[in-house]
Amino acid sequence: MEEGRLRDAYKALKKIEAADPSFKDSKQMLENCLKQGRITVAYVAVDRENISNDVEKELGALVVQSLLENKDPFLVLLDRDYTSKLLEEQKLGMTGLYDEKSLIKAGELIGAKYILLGEIIEYSADQKLNDYGFKKGYLGKTIGDTKVKYRQWNKKFSLQIKYRMSMVDAETGETLFNSVYPLTKQSELEWAEYNGDFKMVYPGNWTWELLRTSDDRVDVSKYAELQKLFNQKPIGNELNQLRTSFLIEMSQIVKRGVETKIIEVNP
């Protein structure tokens, strides 16, 4: 502690406490260690006009939640709602353009040693529908059963994001780190549709609807596979669900990056 190696001191004191909880000085020394080394950090979202507010708010909330789950005893994250309200009242809402003076003033107002500026610099979420057309089958396991057609579809999803997190010293306005975290995800969904009881439909092939030929066949072994396609018809909100899981993953990436950087800044 005298050398300023507070993280090492904290770890050593925790070992002492675990070995002998009754040791008279360990609790007080732990409190002193934390008091000397604890830093207060505020998260501030940087608004971008070309990014959806819904996406910014969702990712901002997820980033804050992930940072609140950190195990660093020296890191205290200020309440995000309070921080945002105070900055708004003081007309200090952060945009893509901010200066040193406004950051220092913001730090003074919210009582933070450091400010984390979170900003989505790129974001896209797209989906493309592909029609595979009509497929042939039977309402039964034999070629003597009624011949039918069902339709097969495919939808491809693509999500991309680049998120920048900067840490600024609230006393000097100095940027301590500036990291960009990219993430790309692709997914696809296939399904089939039949205007009737699809549980009766077996995949197969036939040449003529009214005539039987030697080429007609029923693929009984692929029945379960086809039924799975019938049962995974989308309900329309798949992109939103993917977006949420995508942003959760992004928030965890940011959390790990920020934790590493903060230890470098505040060893």
pLDDT in tens, 1-36: 888 888 899 999 989 888 888 887 888 888 899 888
Please indicate whether residue 186 or residue 89 has the higher confidence score (pLDDT): 186
Length of the chain as a residue count: 267
Look at the pTM and tell me if it is higher than 0.85.
no
Please indicate whether residue 162 or residue 37 has the higher confidence score (pLDDT): 162
What's the chain's average pLDDT?
87
Q: pLDDT-based confidence at 97, cuts 50/70/90?
A: very low
In whole angstroms, give the CA distance from residue 126 to residue 158: 5
Rg (the chain; Cα; Å): 29
How would you write 127-189 as a 3-class SS string? EEEEEEEEEEEECCCCCCCCEEEEEEEEEEEEEEEEEEEEEEECCCCCEEEEEEEEEEEEEEE
Q: For the chain, percent helix, then strand, then coil, each to nearest 5?
A: 40, 30, 30
pLDDT digits (tens, 9 = 90+) for 226-250: 999 999 989 888 999 999 999 999 9
Tell me what pLDDT residue 96 has: 47
pLDDT digits (tens, 9 = 90+) for 208-229: 999 999 999 999 999 999 999 9
